[in-house]
């Protein structure tokens, strides 16, 4: 429970089955943002406060002009996993019907897209955890690959604790000994970018030690033989060379993991690579081969990111998707959605560019106007300097946000929005449980909800009939109708039903349906009901360390801050505890460069430079540097990362760049870089 400085009190609900009353430090300090002095309360046009009509007039005139002169392909929309289901749905509808652009994508592309693509391929469906989170406590062994939930999902830590209390084991794969890895029975400090080789190597040993479940493979899967042949080349010596992990550790890991039921979980550390999809497929292969999937406490899951990371990818703000997890390129799916919307299927645009490709095409030769809802793209995108230049070349940049974050600072128009406690809505959590978010406060005068903004713009652009309301309850009812018969079927849900219960798991295809907590007990979602194995090979990252840039540079999160820091850097308690980005560096490496604890270190990659404060620690591999990406300007980790994408998911390689150290400055008294890097 936390008391914020402004007198609001936040507490967890002990009866809620996911967190059972526990909250994260960012949750219980979040009220500070509601009445924050920096909160936007008026639209800004070229940085000056204006009334809503003036802002709307400016936006709609520019949009009309650009649409007329250059066509819908030159307008882009960028959404977010921070948006409620209602907002994500309306945003996708707005892009396709009002702007008629194919180019809508969202920050979930940077987040869950590799795990999502792999789950769709293997299982025919993508729900982060295909089981309730309480199943974690039932697992004999949990293999956690590239995730740090003690810091990134603290309210979930209790399920790991309970699993431990039940006699279960935890194996953590991470180049760093994180808070989570410290609690593990086995920590595998892997070479960045080699998780796929590890998975194949573990399956090699499972086969050798006769731990695979041939009966499960025969009855419930397709494609094992090709995988078996592939992993025969991943003998322990080769895997040790690729991953840096000794055979003894691999054998220990696979023996524990083979006990039934056991679970494999992936986080962004395994997924945010240019081979993220294949890496996740390799872990799904392992879970299938061991026969874990389908029984409580066994299987595969991915740890979801943002509040609505799951629902945000189901309702049509992704470049290739329509509501209900339908695909925009499948004719029947287009027809189904077009029928609900009362439009000709032909009029729906096709598939648009993925998040980074969309941003990288901003400018006079590509997308000339961009509307951003719920993302700080200039801090969160790889190769951030380049994206900043692209944003600055736009004819129109509109950012809807509660704060003037780094991307909003570049905008022609900023529209101030309501925050979580001031609006109704639904989010779908990492288990696929659809939850109500309730309005408890009246928003300050002068701000509007995203739904109101979309409705108002649609009305001004001549599409009133498609956006009759900005009431979340009504938008949700429409969304539920539209998803009827789809894979993510919400048609049995309503605010009234969600009000009565602690959320309902989709699919929920009719009002009497109880929802679906466990997806794979009997069948998978491919037409034949079977899961698919995929033979996948290790491959190099887009950029590996070399003579010029000898170090691995990887990125991630700290407990105190959230994503681009747009919100958490404004919470006094959080920014006091963690005022600037800290670079993890091993003592051997630090000694080599003469770096002491607290020194300011300028790191360089082929994209640019960024400055961090050194934390010398043996909790990281000697060949690897780690920095969080929660800061902007000269402290932005994404000045160093690159837009190398996974060929299937279009996920950028956030977790691996080749880097070098170019300058070291003694600690400055305020802890900020003494010198702006070039
Ligand atoms: N405190 C906090 N919590 C958050 C967020 C936040 O910003 N702050 N953001 C939310 C969001 S949007 C998300 S997506 C989730 C993310 O949750 P996580 O996936 O747990 O978070 P990350 O810190 O990005 O990455 C996890 C770990 O991957 C490791 N790693 C780096 N490279 C590699 C590699 O090549 N292989 C392996 N195996 N590991 C590697 C890093 O050292 C890091 O400890 O967290 C959510 N929760
Ligand atoms: N180097 C590196 N980069 C990364 C990652 C990494 O691990 N390493 N992780 C990636 C991942 S997983 C993610 S999810 C992204 C996240 O990065 P971003 O997409 O930048 O997400 P946030 O920082 O959460 O920014 C959300 C913004 O939306 C605003 N907001 C919140 N709720 C609403 C709302 O309801 N409506 C509107 N209009 N605005 C709202 C907030 O005020 C904030 O400004 O970063 C990615 N970038
Ligand atoms: Mo994320």
Distance from the alpha carbon of residue 662 to the mean position of ligand 1, in angstroms: 26
Measured by CA distance, the residue closest to atom 12 of ligand 2 is 111
Measured by CA distance, the residue closest to atom 30 of ligand 2 is 374
- What is the rounded distance in angstroms from the CA atom of residue 529 to the CA atom of residue 560? 43
Q: 222 and 340: one domain?
A: no
Contact 115, 273 (CB under 8 A): no
Q: 266 and 330: one domain?
A: no
Distance from the alpha carbon of residue 147 to the mean position of ligand 1, in angstroms: 5
Residue 229: closest CA among 528, 647, 541, 533? 533
Domain boundary among 268, 302, 336: 302
Q: What number does the ligand 2 atom closest to the CA of 111 have?
A: 12
Q: Is the residue at 519 inside a domain? A: no
Over residues 279-337, the pLDDT tens digits come to 999 999 999 999 999 889 999 999 988 999 999 999 999 999 999 999 999 999 999 99
Q: Is the residue at 541 inside a domain? A: no
- What is the rounded distance in angstroms from the CA atom of residue 172 to the CA atom of residue 413? 45
**What are the DSSP E strand ranges found in 402-490?**
413-416, 425-428, 433-437
- Phi then psi for 468, rounded to 5 degrees? -70, -20
Q: 135 and 169: one domain?
A: yes
Check which CATH number belongs to the domain holding 242 and give it.
Answer: 3.40.228.10
Check which CATH number belongs to the domain holding 590 and give it.
Answer: 2.40.40.20
For residue 377, give the 3-state DSSP assignment.
helix
For residue 79, give the 3-state DSSP assignment.
strand
Distance from the alpha carbon of residue 556 to the mean position of ligand 1, in angstroms: 5
- What is the rounded distance in angstroms from the CA atom of residue 382 to the CA atom of residue 404? 21
Q: Which of 358, 402, 457 to mutate to test the pocket of ligand 2 (most atoms within 8 A of CB)?
A: 402
Q: 579 and 626: one domain?
A: yes
Q: What number does the ligand 1 atom closest to the CA of 191 have?
A: 35
Tell me, letter by letter, the H, E, C secondary structure of 228-273: HHHHCCCCHHHHHHHHCCCHHHHHHHHHHHHCCCCEEEECHHHHCC
Q: What number does the ligand 1 atom closest to the CA of 151 have?
A: 1
Q: 346 and 386: one domain?
A: yes
Q: What number does the ligand 1 atom closest to the CA of 562 have?
A: 7
Q: 556 and 620: one domain?
A: yes
pLDDT value, residue 676: 42
Residue 130: closest CA among 140, 120, 141, 145? 120
Cross-strand partners of 176:
620
Q: What is the DSSP letter of 176?
A: B
Residue 88: closest CA among 103, 99, 77? 77
Contact 500, 511 (CB under 8 A): no
Q: 52 and 94: one domain?
A: yes
Range(s) of the domain holding residue 655: 551-665
Distance from the alpha carbon of residue 562 to the mean position of ligand 3, in angstroms: 10
Please report which ligand is nearest the Cα atom of 555. 2
Over residues 90-143, the pLDDT tens digits come to 999 999 999 999 999 999 999 999 999 999 999 999 999 999 999 999 999 999
Q: Is the residue at 525 inside a domain? A: no
Measured by CA distance, the residue closest to atom 30 of ligand 1 is 269
Instruction: Give residues with Cβ within 8 angstroms of 397, minimum separation 6.
Output: 369, 370, 372, 391, 410, 411, 412, 413
- What is the rounded distance in angstroms from the CA atom of residue 673 to the CA atom of residue 343? 55
Measured by CA distance, the residue closest to atom 15 of ligand 1 is 305
**What are the DSSP E strand ranges found in 241-374?**
263-266, 299-302, 321-322, 326-327, 369-373
Domain boundary among 302, 329, 364: 302
Distance from the alpha carbon of residue 295 to the mean position of ligand 3, in angstroms: 28
CA distances from 543 to 44, 310, 595 (A): 41, 30, 25
Domain boundary among 254, 276, 302: 302
| Site residues for ligand 2, CB cut-off 6 Å | 80-83, 107, 110-111, 268, 272, 305-306, 373-376, 379-380, 400-403, 405, 417, 450, 555-556, 562-564, 566-567, 629, 637-638, 641, 654
Q: Is the residue at 432 inside a domain? A: yes
Q: Is the CB of 562 under 6 A from ligand 1?
A: yes
Over residues 473-490, the pLDDT tens digits come to 999 999 999 999 999 999
Does the reported pTM lie above 0.95?
yes
Q: 180 and 269: one domain?
A: yes
Cross-strand partners of 665:
600
- Phi then psi for 640, rounded to 5 degrees? -100, -25
pLDDT value, residue 164: 98
Q: Is the residue at 655 inside a domain? A: yes
Distance from the alpha carbon of residue 627 to the mean position of ligand 1, in angstroms: 11
Check which CATH number belongs to the domain holding 393 and give it.
Answer: 3.40.50.740
For residue 551, give the 3-state DSSP assignment.
strand
Contact 576, 675 (CB under 8 A): no
Q: 640 and 498: one domain?
A: no
Q: Is the residue at 518 inside a domain? A: no
- What is the rounded distance in angstroms from the CA atom of residue 65 to the CA atom of residue 78? 20
Measured by CA distance, the residue closest to atom 8 of ligand 1 is 562
Which parts of the chain have pLDDT scores under 50?
1-2, 4, 673-678
Q: 10 and 42: one domain?
A: no
Residue 78: closest CA among 331, 371, 356, 311? 371
- Phi then psi for 455, rounded to 5 degrees? -60, -45
Please report which ligand is nearest the Cα atom of 265. 1
Q: Is the CB of 175 under 6 A from ligand 1?
A: yes
Q: Is the CB of 545 under 6 A from ligand 1?
A: no
pLDDT value, residue 583: 98
pLDDT value, residue 8: 75
Over residues 578-610, the pLDDT tens digits come to 999 999 999 999 999 999 999 999 999 999 999
For residue 186 the two structure tokens come to 């086995």
- What is the rounded distance in angstroms from the CA atom of residue 160 to the CA atom of residue 171? 11
Q: 143 and 244: one domain?
A: yes
Residue 308: closest CA among 112, 493, 532? 112
Distance from the alpha carbon of residue 142 to the mean position of ligand 3, in angstroms: 22
Q: Which of 152, 430, 564 to mutate to test the pocket of ligand 2 (most atoms within 8 A of CB)?
A: 564
* Number of domains observed in the structure of the chain: 4
Q: What number does the ligand 2 atom closest to the CA of 638 have?
A: 1
Q: Is the residue at 71 inside a domain? A: yes
Residue 111: closest CA among 677, 655, 667? 655
CA distances from 281 to 149, 491, 526 (A): 21, 31, 16
Q: Which of 556, 567, 628 to mutate to test the pocket of ligand 1 (most atoms within 8 A of CB)?
A: 556
Q: Is the residue at 673 inside a domain? A: no
Q: What number does the ligand 1 atom closest to the CA of 267 have?
A: 19
Q: 132 and 264: one domain?
A: yes
Tell me how crowded residue 577 is: count the other CB atoms within 10 A of its CB: 14
- What is the rounded distance in angstroms from the CA atom of residue 610 to the CA atom of residue 675? 11
Distance from the alpha carbon of residue 474 to the mean position of ligand 1, in angstroms: 36
Distance from the alpha carbon of residue 11 to the mean position of ligand 2, in angstroms: 24
- Phi then psi for 109, rounded to 5 degrees? -60, -30
- What is the rounded distance in angstroms from the CA atom of residue 424 to the CA atom of residue 157? 28
- What is the rounded distance in angstroms from the CA atom of residue 516 to the CA atom of residue 124? 16
Q: Is the CB of 176 under 6 A from ligand 1?
A: yes
């Amino acid at each position: 429970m936390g008391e914020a400085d402004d007198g609001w009190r936040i507490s967890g609900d002990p009866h809620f089955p996911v967190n059972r009353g526990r909250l994260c430090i960012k949750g219980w300090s979040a009220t500070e943002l509601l009445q924050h002095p920096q909160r936007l309360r008026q639209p800004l046009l070229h940085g000056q406060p204006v009334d809503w009509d003036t802002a709307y007039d400016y936006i709609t005139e520019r949009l009309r002009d650009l649409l007329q002169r250059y066509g819908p392909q030159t307008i882009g929309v960028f959404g977010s996993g921070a948006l409620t289901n209602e907002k994500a749905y309306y945003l996708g509808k707005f892009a396709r019907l009002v702007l008629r652009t194919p180019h809508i994508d969202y920050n979930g592309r940077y987040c869950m897209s590799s795990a999502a693509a792999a789950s769709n391929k293997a299982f025919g469906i993508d729900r982060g955890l295909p089981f309730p989170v309480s199943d974690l406590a039932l697992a004999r062994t949990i293999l956690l690959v590239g995730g740090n939930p003690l810091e990134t999902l603290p309210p979930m830590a209790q399920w790991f604790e309970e699993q431990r209390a039940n006699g279960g084991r935890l194996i953590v794969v991470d180049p760093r000994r994180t808070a989570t890895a410290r609690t593990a029975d086995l920590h595998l400090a892997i070479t960045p970018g080699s998780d796929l080789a590890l998975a194949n190597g573990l399956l090699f040993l499972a086969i050798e030690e006769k731990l695979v479940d041939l009966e499960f493979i025969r009855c419930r899967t397709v494609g094992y033989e090709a995988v078996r042949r592939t992993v025969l080349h991943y003998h322990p010596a080769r895997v040790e060379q690729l991953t840096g992990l000794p055979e003894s550790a691999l054998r220990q890991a696979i023996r524990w993991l083979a006990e039934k039921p056991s679970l494999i979980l992936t986080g962004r550390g395994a997924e945010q690579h240019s081979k993220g999809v294949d890496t996740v497929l390799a872990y799904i292969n392992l879970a299938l081969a061991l026969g874990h999937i389908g029984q409580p406490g066994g299987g595969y899951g991915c740890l979801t990111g943002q509040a609505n990371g799951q629902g945000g990818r189901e309702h049509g703000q992704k470049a290739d998707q329509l509501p209900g997890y339908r695909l925009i390129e499948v004719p029947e799916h287009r027809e189904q959605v077009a029928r609900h919307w009362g439009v000709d299927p032909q009029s729906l645009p096709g598939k648009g560019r993925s998040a980074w490709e969309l941003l990288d095409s901003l400018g006079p030769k590509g997308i000339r106007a961009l509307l951003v809802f719920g993302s700080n793209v200039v801090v969160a995108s790889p190769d951030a300097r380049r994206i900043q230049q692209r944003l600055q070349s736009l004819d129109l940049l509109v950012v809807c946000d509660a704060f003037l974050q780094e991307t909003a600072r570049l905008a022609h128009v900023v529209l101030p929005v309501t925050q979580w406690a001031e609006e109704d809505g639904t989010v779908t959590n990492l288990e696929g449980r659809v939850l109500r978010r309730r309005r408890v406060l009246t928003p300050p005068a002068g701000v509007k909800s995203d739904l109101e903004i979309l409705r108002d713009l649609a009305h001004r652009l001549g599409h009133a009939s498609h956006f009759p309301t900005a009431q979340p309850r009504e938008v949700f009812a429409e969304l539920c109708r539209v998803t009827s018969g789809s894979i993510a079927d919400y048609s049995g849900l309503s605010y009234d039903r969600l009000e009565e219960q602690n959320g309902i798991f989709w699919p929920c295809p009719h009002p009497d349906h109880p929802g679906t907590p466990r997806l794979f007990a009997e069948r998978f979602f491919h037409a034949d009901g079977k899961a698919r194995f995929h033979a996948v090979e290790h491959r190099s990252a887009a950029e590996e360390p070399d003579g010029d840039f000898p170090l691995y540079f990887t990125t991630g999160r700290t407990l105190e801050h959230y994503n681009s820091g747009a919100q958490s850097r404004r919470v006094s308690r959080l920014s006091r505890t963690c005022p600037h980005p800290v670079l993890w560096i091993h003592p051997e490496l630090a000694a080599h460069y003469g770096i002491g604890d607290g020194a300011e270190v300028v790191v360089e990659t082929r994209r640019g430079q960024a400055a961090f404060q050194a934390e010398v620690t043996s909790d990281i591999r000697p060949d690897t540097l780690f920095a969080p990406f929660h800061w902007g300007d000269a402290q932005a980790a994404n000045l160093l990362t690159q837009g190398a994408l996974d060929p299937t998911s279009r996920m950028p390689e956030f977790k691996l760049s080749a880097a070098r150290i170019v300058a070291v400055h003694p600690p400055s008294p305020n802890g900020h870089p003494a010198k702006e890097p070039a």
